[in-house]
Amino acid sequence: MRTRITDMLGIRYPIVQGGMHFVGLAELASAVSNAGGLGILTALTQPSPAALAEEIARCRGMTDQPFGVNLTFLPVRTPPDYPGYVRSIIDGGIKVVETAGNNPQQWMPLLKEAGIKVIHKCTSVRHALKAEAIGCDAVSVDGFECGGHPGEDDVPNFILLPRAAEQLKIPFIASGGMADGRSLVAAMALGAEGMNMGTRFIATKEAPVHENVKQAILQATELDTRLVMRPLRNTERVLNNAGVERLLAKEKALGDKITFADIIDEVGGVYPKVMKDGNLDAGAWSCGMVAGLIHDIPTVQELIERTMAEARQLVTQRLAGMVV
């Protein structure tokens, strides 16, 4: 399947793996790239730029296909060593970077000089247009259904994707609620030129997370996610658990007076406890509503090939058969 995204990224299929904290490691990224999609390493999962350089080298030893790096710019007082991470990305020969969080404009000259394609994650059309204006090559448009941070506008993809198609000149990838061939065909019908899967890729054999995490996603339905940190305007969609219930109880009790310090036990340092140790109730961890569409734990190769076969069948048989 050929789109502007496949041409830009040098991949066979218009499927991108989301950059997920303590999930986007070499094992998963290489598997996605080897299967024809674009695997993504998550920079800030690595404790230092040197560690990221090692992870890039490790992934390169596991695939000869293109893969990228996610670099999230956090709104914190003491930021990570972003110049170091950017240098590791450039020195590692990475040609695709997925940026997220704050505006990446200050880093664009360095990335573009190195010949890197930049895809910025956006939760609104206005942010996507800003990304286009500062020189991003593509955007990943995240609907309200997505796991992680869906923004504050609460616009689902059935509205957000065609709105993006109306306004953008650069290609975009659909993210949030993406699980299979149906997702891909629907997203492309609405104007996207590829799709980004996050939660779906966690429930694969190669995902380097505890089996408890995979089973929790497998057993969840579309009704089992919750929105946390809304009073702080840092909304995150997470899988419900005991830690999330504690967090929501604090939000209810404190209302608009709540601060990050009040919920640090439920959001700070949670991912290693969940993803590595399998302690599902440690706190809030991202999961999309798409959990309701996840019914097995295949290999990455099986998932991608199945997705593409289903997409082809939908286009060439079911939909074509409806045209009179």
Contact by Cβ (8 Å): 120, 140: yes
Structure tokens at 167: 């306004």
Answer yes or no: CATH 3.20.20.70 is held by domain 4-204.
yes
Q: How many residues does the chain have?
A: 324
Alpha helices in 141-210 (DSSP H): 157-167, 181-189, 199-202
Q: What is the pLDDT along the chain (324 residues), one digit of tens a residue?
A: 999 999 999 999 999 999 999 999 999 999 999 999 999 999 999 999 999 999 999 999 999 999 999 999 998 889 999 999 999 999 999 999 999 999 999 999 999 999 999 999 999 999 999 999 999 999 999 999 999 999 999 999 999 999 999 999 999 999 999 999 999 999 999 999 999 999 999 999 999 999 999 999 999 999 999 999 999 999 999 999 999 999 999 999 999 999 999 999 999 999 999 999 999 999 999 999 999 999 999 999 999 999 999 999 999 999 999 988
- What is the residue type of 218? L
The model's pTM is: 0.97
Domain ranges of the chain: 4-204, 221-286
Residues whose CB is less than 8 angstroms from the CB of residue 23 and which lie 6 or more positions away in sequence, other chains included? 42, 45, 201, 202, 207, 208, 209, 275
- For residue 278, the model assigns a pLDDT of 98
